[in-house]
Amino acid sequence: MSDESALYDELPDGLLVADDEGTVVVLNRAGARLLGRATDEAVGRDFRDVVPLADPSGRDWWACTDPYGGLRSRTGQPERQLSLLGPGGAPLRDLLVTARYVRDDGGAVRRLVIGLRDAAARDRLERNRADLISTVAHELRSPLTSVKGFTATLLAKWDRFTDEQKKVMLETVNADADRVTRLLADLLDVSRIDAGRLELHRQVVDLERVVRKAFAGRVASGEPESRFVLDVSGEAPEMWLDPDKVEQIVGNLVENALKYGAGTVTVALDNTPSGAEVVVSDEGEGIPDELLARVFTKFWRRGDGGRRSGTGLGLFITKGLVEAHGGDITVGRAASGGAEFRFTLPAGAPSYEG
């Protein structure tokens, strides 16, 4: 079983295998960690002693399910959340447990295979899903209410408004529709990043041009041109990147600096033979050290003076886009005292993902 055991240790979930007498023959590394037992200590013992479990009512799970008895047509037990018991029968932690019965030709259980997962990880996933639903509902409510209100008003009282008033209302509807479109695009990006299915369509990209385009877009929106500084050093190598996603990365970080920072927004572009390093900084109050570890998590919002808005997905998406290119991104404090986002992108030949 040594070769098999080595393969089982590669599994991300816990696995315990008992033979036809209920004796443990395999406990992989993840299972040993979840159970708080050494593999050598578990192998050779009865599975009930190694994995003592109780259901939500406190009943002995193995006594209730009787894996080696009962109907011979049973193939196992579906995943359930059960309590792992410690010495004296006190609950230690919750586990997600699945059991499968491997039977011989006569129907007798030849092997009992038990899958173990950390219930806390599932709980975090469920909370993330609930947070996502809540965030989406909140972010959609305002623009959809606006769209509904203005369109209903125009349909009911079209002749009462001047052309200028109609134009203002239609511009508002258009802006709110754009807001919904951006939200849906963010949700699609999050889904693809989580699933590892983000597609890149690489071509040669001029990073300096991307940064200047981001600045120009903000100036066109009303920001003073003097608020932006671009510092370029080094000769640019040939960068094969996804242009749309690189524009999204730079745009997100510049918008973040404008929205939550203060003073000048500086983008420093350092070209190196292996790629490029881009640093986006502002002159605001920065991000407290104790919050830096949370910056790239879902639903984290950078607050300043009570201002908190958006989905809290922008920086999570930015990190996912950088890493999809093979780069890295960090956050810290700039020399000016504001926030500083630093990311790297590798140069290289074109590839054909997706």
Task: Could you list the beta-strand ranges (E) of 223-316.
Answer: 228-233, 240-241, 265-272, 275-281
Phi, psi of 195 (to 5 degrees): -85, -5
Phi, psi of 17 (to 5 degrees): -125, 130
Concatenating the DSSP letter of every residue in 22-91 gives SBEEEE-HHHHHHHT--HHHHTTSBHHHHS-EE-TTS-BHHHHH-TTSS-TT--EEEEEEEEEE-GGG-E
Q: What is the CATH number of domain 2-119?
A: 3.30.450.20
The CA distances from residue 335 to 49, 225, 281, 328, 338, in Å, are: 58, 22, 9, 21, 7
Q: β-strand 76-85 against 275-281: which pairing, if any? A: unpaired
How many CB atoms neighbour CB 26 within 10 A? 21
Q: Mean pLDDT in the chain?
A: 88
Residue range(s) of every CATH 3.30.565.10 domain in the chain: 203-346
In this predicted structure, the answer to whether residue 151 has a pLDDT above a threshold of 60 is yes
Residue range(s) of every CATH 1.10.287.130 domain in the chain: 122-195
The identity of residue 97, as a single letter, is V
Q: Around 263, how many Cα atoms within 13 Å sit in the side-chain half-sphere?
A: 13
Which tens digits make up the pLDDT trace of 294-331?
Answer: 899 887 776 544 344 567 788 999 999 999 999 999 99
Residue range(s) of every CATH 3.30.450.20 domain in the chain: 2-119
pLDDT, mean of residues 198-217: 93
Q: Supply the pLDDT for residue 189.
A: 87
How many CB atoms neighbour CB 245 within 10 A? 23
Helix or strand holding residue 100 (H, E):
strand 91-103
Q: How confident is the model at residue 68 (pLDDT cuts 50, 70, 90)?
A: very high
Q: Supply the pLDDT for residue 2.
A: 52
Q: Supply the pLDDT for residue 305.
A: 41
Third-level CATH fold of 122-195: Helix Hairpins (1.10.287)
The 10 Å CB-count burial string (b at 16+, else e) for 157-185 is eeeeeeeeeeeebeeebeebeebeeebee
Which tens digits make up the pLDDT trace of 101-148?
Answer: 999 998 999 999 999 998 887 777 777 777 777 777 777 888 889 899
In this predicted structure, the answer to whether residue 259 has a pLDDT above a threshold of 60 is yes
DSSP SS3 for 352:
coil
The answer to whether residues 82 and 53 touch, using CB atoms and an 8 Å cutoff, is yes
Third-level CATH fold of 203-346: Heat Shock Protein 90 (3.30.565)
- Please state, in angstroms and rounded to a whole number, the distance separating the CA atoms of residues 202 and 183: 24
> Rounded to the nearest 10 degrees, how much is the dihedral formed by the CA atoms of 297, 194, 179, 150?
-110
Q: How confident is the model at residue 354 (pLDDT cuts 50, 70, 90)?
A: very low
pTM of the predicted model, to two decimals? Answer: 0.63
Q: How confident is the model at residue 277 (pLDDT cuts 50, 70, 90)?
A: very high
- Please state, in angstroms and rounded to a whole number, the distance separating the CA atoms of residues 116 and 118: 7
Q: Supply the pLDDT for residue 310.
A: 62
